[in-house]
Amino acid sequence: MPRQPPPETAPAPDLIARVGLTSRPAEVLGLSAGRVLFVAAWPYHRGRETVLELATADGAFRRILPLRVTRSTPHGEKLYAVAGEFGRPLTPDELRALSCPRPPPARLPACAAGGVK
C-alpha cells in the first residue's frame, strides 16, 4: 500500500486533542478534512475505531469525531505516531477553526503566532 502524503494543514497552536472515551491527551502534528496525524503515549492498532475530540483552548470550538486508525508506529521513547481517518470529513469551516495553512518555512512564525482567521 503506498504511503499517503502528510495532511496539508498544520494544527492551530492552541489545539487540544483527546482520544477515546477516556479522553487521553494527544498532540496533533497534521490535520486535513479527512485525516489526522497525532502523537500519543500509547499504541493504537490499525483498524481500531475510536473517537477524537478536537477543541480550541478557549473552548470556542469543539468537535468529537469518529476515528479509524490507519497506522501506529513508535515515535521516540514511549510515544507513538498515530494516523487515522475521520468517520466524516471536517467541513471547510471546521478545518479553518482547527488549523492554519501549512506555510512556507519563512511564514511559520506568523501562522504559529495567531493562526489564520
Q: Over the stretch 2-16, which tens digit does the pLDDT of each residue have?
A: 455 455 677 877 788
Q: Is 44 helix (H, G, I), strand (E, B) or coil?
A: coil
**Measured between alpha carbons, how far is 48 from 82 in angstroms, rounded to an integer?**
11
**Measured between alpha carbons, how far is 31 from 54 in angstroms, rounded to an integer?**
11
DSSP string, 52-80: EEEEETTSS-EEEEEEEEEEEEE-STT-E
- Looking up cell 471547510 gives 92
Cβ neighbours of residue 78 closer than 8 Å, sequence gap 6 or more: 41
Using an 8 Å Cβ cutoff, are 28 and 17 in contact? Answer: yes
Query: Mean pLDDT of all residues in the chain?
Result: 82
With 0.85 as the threshold, say if the pTM is over it.
no
Model pLDDT for residues 20-73, shown as the tens digit of each residue: 988 899 999 999 999 999 999 988 999 999 999 999 888 888 999 999 999 999
Give the number of residues written for the chain: 117
Nearest to 19 by CA among 38, 46, 45, 47: 38
What pLDDT does 45 receive?
A: 92
Domains of the chain in sequence order: 9-109 (2.40.10.220)
Rounded to an integer, what is the distance from CA 14 to the centroid of its chain? 12
